[in-house]
């Protein structure tokens, strides 16, 4: 299939490469010359603009930073890219954005005879490279079946969350829980270690007890507990504090709209914001433990 892939960053680059390796013909584009050069080195064809990437495309995939980028691209000046996309084309947006923005773009797309679906991902850059991402899809069943053969080349799990926007909602619920769990795990680890407990022993006790969770399983925020976790690599790589902050912001915006009560999500957002202001925005989000540790 001929695919226009727009947004070749940490996630989009390797996702596009996996589609290319599966035999699809990709016309890729990114505003960043560096991202384009990296993708070209991996064998992708780079278009001169998003519009040029559309030429002959039967599907369009976007992997952009935030709501404003997706809305700007598709609905921006002069009607945006939607006006240039051929009727009947499938558009898959895998960016993590507000559900309301996905629904707004999908509505405009529908009026033009274009299938726009949201398919945000979980699994990080490792999952993007390995092709093992989890997709949370907001679409009709028929639209999901159209997208499935492409999603299968980039991911290992595909969930149908509901109609358009539902993928985004599932994504922010999961990341709100993850953000809260990481802070809770950090508090418990910091308290135990301050009392003289060996971090590995404490981590193992909690992992096998009622406090067990994903962070204790494979992503402990305390350095040295999990050899491959960002905490053991100076909090490099992984999922950045600023990305977690963005997702918690989306969760709080949504909670306000829904008049939902998410007190721990709100507190978690405030703690990650303070941590980011302290200069840790680019570090993995598990570095939030630094806010909670006793100084040496």
Among all residues, which ones are annotated catalytic? 171
* Residue 281 to residue 242: CA distance in whole angstroms: 5
For residue 18, with 0-12 CB atoms within 10 Å meaning exposed, 13-18 middle and 19 or more buried, which class applies?
A: buried
CB 72, min distance to ligand NAD, A: 6
CB 196, min distance to ligand NAD, A: 35
Is the Cβ–Cβ distance between 77 and 50 less than 8 Å? no
How many of the other CB atoms lie within 10 Å of CB of 163?
Answer: 16
CB 204, min distance to ligand NAD, A: 27
How many of the other CB atoms lie within 10 Å of CB of 148?
Answer: 14
Is the Cβ–Cβ distance between 118 and 99 less than 8 Å? yes
Our CB check for ligand NAD shows the closer of 9 and 199 to be 9
Our CB check for ligand NAD shows the closer of 94 and 190 to be 94
Which residue, 127, 136, 39, is CA-closest to 95?
136
Our CB check for ligand NAD shows the closer of 46 and 216 to be 46
Token duo for residue 88:
């009947």
3-class DSSP assignment, residue 31: coil
CB 116, min distance to ligand NAD, A: 16
Provide φ and ψ at 42, rounded to 5°. Answer: -90, 5
Our CB check for ligand NAD shows the closer of 117 and 203 to be 117
CB 211, min distance to ligand NAD, A: 25
3-class DSSP assignment, residue 181: helix
Our CB check for ligand NAD shows the closer of 81 and 190 to be 81
Our CB check for ligand NAD shows the closer of 90 and 244 to be 244
* Residue 210 to residue 206: CA distance in whole angstroms: 7
Q: Which residues bind ligand NAD (CB under 6 A)?
A: 6-12, 29-32, 35, 50, 63-65, 69, 73, 95-96, 121, 124-125, 239, 243
Query: Which residue, judged by CB position, is nearest to ligand NAD in the bound state?
Result: 9
Give the C-alpha distances (Å, rounded to integers) separating 164 from 33, 55, 92, 107, 170.
Answer: 32, 26, 11, 9, 11
CB 251, min distance to ligand NAD, A: 13
């Amino acid at each position: 299939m001929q695919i226009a892939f727009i947004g070749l960053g940490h996630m989009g680059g390797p996702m596009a490469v996996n589609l290319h390796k599966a035999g699809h013909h990709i016309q890729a584009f990114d505003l960043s010359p560096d991202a384009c050069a990296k993708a070209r080195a991996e064998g992708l064809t780079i278009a001169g603009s998003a519009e040029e990437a559309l030429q002959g495309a039967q599907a369009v995939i976007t992997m952009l930073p935030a709501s404003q980028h997706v809305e700007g691209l598709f609905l921006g000046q002069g009607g945006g890219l939607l006006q240039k996309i051929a009727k009947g084309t499938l558009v898959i947006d895998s960016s993590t954005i507000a559900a309301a923005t996905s629904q707004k773009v999908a509505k405009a797309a529908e009026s033009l005879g274009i299938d726009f679906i949201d398919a945000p991902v979980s699994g990080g850059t490792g999952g993007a490279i390995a092709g093992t991402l989890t997709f949370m899809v907001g679409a009709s069943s028929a639209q999901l079946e159209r997208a499935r053969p492409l999603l299968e080349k980039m991911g290992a799990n595909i969930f149908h969350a509901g109609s358009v926007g539902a993928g985004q909602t599932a994504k922010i619920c999961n990341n709100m829980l993850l953000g809260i769990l990481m802070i809770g795990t950090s508090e418990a680890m910091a308290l135990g270690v301050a009392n003289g407990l060996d971090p590995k022993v404490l981590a193992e006790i909690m992992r096998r007890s009622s406090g067990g969770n994903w962070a204790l399983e494979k992503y402990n925020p305390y350095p040295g507990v999990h050899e491959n976790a960002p905490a053991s690599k100076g909090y490099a790589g992984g999922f950045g504090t600023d990305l977690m902050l963005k997702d918690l912001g989306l969760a709080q915006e949504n909670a306000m709209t829904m008049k939902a009560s998410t007190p721990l999500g709100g507190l978690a957002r405030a703690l990650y914001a303070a941590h980011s202001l302290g200069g840790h925005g680019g570090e993995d989000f598990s570095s939030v433990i630094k806010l909670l540790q006793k100084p040496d």
